[in-house]
Structure 1
């Protein structure tokens, strides 16, 4: 398929979570063993949490593409390498272009900043290709506009007080981040349990709960927590272990049943996602379309997850329109994540019937 010629490229970084619960609340992280970094993620994250927006323009003002990732100026540096290569590509073939860029980014090693940079370009190309055809992105992927199944992530139990009852009642799960981990001692585990009890009091009894541990727990701690919350209908434990600990995830999955293991948010590239599936490490796969390498990688993993009975629930999907379009094409066994209490409107996620992915140029800062 032959697309448009790219004539304009713009990149901008913006702080994503400065002064919000994401960076300023007490959340258990891999840096929790170090007291100076334990209280706030903003004390150690640097530019890693900053949004990076990418705009690709053509000779036709109505045909453009917008992509997004994270990594701030670190990823911008990789994009400085990749962007000049776009003058030679077919914008109507996003998957082919992504493969070219992955190869060009090999000097930076697999994963991390390289996968994030490729993601931003690939997402922008999908958006551009759909706008060029005058169709919503979901049509190119085999989906259709409309509402999607979802789960709710609350910044804190109190954030649920202002959430519409119908939104909570329709959720597949309601999740809350955990404040403490093994580095904080057994007494703080009780505080985590009470945090989940506070969520249970606010959520309809038919909706199971979930917790996010941001790669900061270990197998014994997770098993003990699951036992202590057996009366709360805990549905899954998310990212309990470091992303590379596949053997630990497999062990934990066997020991936690019927509580599920969710992971994959920090899977950078197809290979990591495949190892999670092939190793039977997860019950819920949570790749991030803006980090993993783009829609091509995410779609492959979503299809394979469906074949293996693994729920596909991309990280932060309700804030990533490209992910919503993909979910509409994957059928049952998918969930979109809806954040509440983070300064974002909370509503049932829906794929719009408009050209492209649905990202507004002005909202992205490219007015």
Structure 2
């Protein structure tokens, strides 16, 4: 079974999604603009076609990849290196990628996910059966609430998540330009609106100083703070460790500080966090996710499955398979990929699906590979750009 060719698609999104967080903006872009749109890859090997899709979320984000850099990396470097390889030789492929072009995790994630989809289809098994089995067939979900100048907008989003979709875990974006006290006010207002039965975490996206973090934790403790995600700069391991000590049992999660296996090791050595936030587009796919998970298990650090997967059933499914293959006791919070489950807009490439939210949860797909069927006519209609890599 050898890889014969790779196709690359930049695809349109029917609903523009714009969000605000401390370190920048999140914008899928206007119609027909490629920047901000997802990249889908098809890997052809021995009569099987593996699919993967990732939306690069820069500009305006801490992960540097863009739509155009993803296409270039796949078309010019990673794609040619894959031709003639066996999709099952994942470590050989990973080593070749490392040698050819460092970084570029979003491009590598799209290909890595497509390879697992290819392997699953060839073996007639769902991806989670290839990476540990089905520990959690029904996955709890988390809704990320965007910052807004008007806290009423935040409350409306939080209430929609809880009342319409049954969410029991929320993450409120923080580090408002008006200061940490405004973040506390926002949190308190949302808490009053959704009640005490909902877990609410806070994510400043590195936007707090150490002093801000210590003050905010003291204030939020009385409001039943569920967890705190990456409050300070990604390289400030000492600051993260001090915040963790001050939190006194409130879990501290590393997100921006975790890109690589080496980052995971450094965070563990510094005792700087209670959980790793695994985002496949940030770390390079399922292959590095499994290695980081092994470090976490050895160091008694829990995992969180992040990444919004906006309007992408394929990206959401990849995250769901990773979550399902992880024992419940090793997970913290819930899966963040809810925006790929037709909540903020439908996936234009998958018009027929049962991979949707039910009472704050989703069932992991059980079909071969990712278990997601893309409508080829819809893909043709929504393609903004197409490239092919051959021998």
* TM-score between the two structures when normalised by the length of structure 1: 0.81
Q: Which runs of 5+ in 2 are unaligned?
A: 57-65, 147-153, 310-314, 347-355, 382-391
User: 1:221 maps to which residue?
Assistant: 212
**Whole-angstrom CA distance in 2 between matches of 1:247 and 1:14:** 42
User: 1:117 maps to which residue?
Assistant: 107
The 8 Å contact of residues 230 and 257 in structure 2, kept in 1 or not, is answered as no
CA displacement, residues 134-160 of structure 1 (integer Å, 9 cap, x when unaligned): 111111112227212343323432113
The 8 Å contact of residues 168 and 174 in structure 1, kept in 2 or not, is answered as no
User: 2:50 maps to which residue?
Assistant: 64
Name the CA shift for 1:264/1:15 in 2 (closer, same or farther; >3 Å): farther
**Whole-angstrom CA distance in 1 between matches of 2:3 and 2:240:** 43
The 8 Å contact of residues 40 and 51 in structure 2, kept in 1 or not, is answered as no
User: 2:69 maps to which residue?
Assistant: 74
Note if 1:313 corresponds to 2:304: yes
Structure having greater relative contact order (Cα 8 Å, sep ≥ 6): 2
How far apart are residue 5 of structure 1 and its match? 2.3
Q: Out of 201, 205, 228, which is 1:210 matched to?
A: 201
SS at match of 2:39: strand
CA displacement, residues 72-130 of structure 1 (integer Å, 9 cap, x when unaligned): 10222222211011113111222331222112114xxxx3x2x3322222111111000
User: 2:369 maps to which residue?
Assistant: 356
How far apart are residue 18 of structure 1 and its match? 8.1
**Whole-angstrom CA distance in 1 between matches of 2:226 and 2:144:** 13
CA RMSD of aligned residues (A): 3.1
User: 1:127 maps to which residue?
Assistant: 117
The 8 Å contact of residues 17 and 49 in structure 1, kept in 2 or not, is answered as no
**Whole-angstrom CA distance in 1 between matches of 2:191 and 2:298:** 32
The 8 Å contact of residues 255 and 276 in structure 2, kept in 1 or not, is answered as yes
**Whole-angstrom CA distance in 2 between matches of 1:66 and 1:293:** 12
1:44-193 alignment runs, 5 A limit = 49-60=36-47, 62-68=48-54, 70=56, 71-79=66-74, 80-106=76-102, 111=103, 113=104, 115-144=105-134, 146-155=137-146, 156-165=154-163, 168=166, 171=168, 173-178=169-174, 180=176, 184-185=177-178, 188-193=179-184
SS at match of 1:365: helix
Q: Which runs of 5+ in 1 are unaligned?
A: 32-39
The 8 Å contact of residues 138 and 326 in structure 1, kept in 2 or not, is answered as yes
Name the CA shift for 1:315/1:48 in 2 (closer, same or farther; >3 Å): farther
* TM-score between the two structures when normalised by the length of structure 2: 0.76
**Whole-angstrom CA distance in 1 between matches of 2:300 and 2:380:** 41
Name the CA shift for 1:210/1:141 in 2 (closer, same or farther; >3 Å): same
CA displacement, residues 163-195 of structure 1 (integer Å, 9 cap, x when unaligned): 3559546x3x32111251xxx35xx43321121
SS at match of 1:76: helix
User: 1:287 maps to which residue?
Assistant: 278
Name the CA shift for 1:252/1:96 in 2 (closer, same or farther; >3 Å): same
How far apart are residue 346 of structure 1 and its match? 4.4
CA displacement, residues 225-271 of structure 1 (integer Å, 9 cap, x when unaligned): 11222221002111212222222211221122232211235632221
User: 1:365 maps to which residue?
Assistant: 379
How far apart are residue 358 of structure 1 and its match? 2.6
**Whole-angstrom CA distance in 1 between matches of 2:380 and 2:249:** 47
> How many positions carry a matched residue from both structures?
337
Name the CA shift for 1:91/1:301 in 2 (closer, same or farther; >3 Å): same
SS at match of 1:358: coil
How far apart are residue 314 of structure 1 and its match? 2.0
| Between 334-343 and 80-89, the greater mean CA deviation after superposition | 334-343
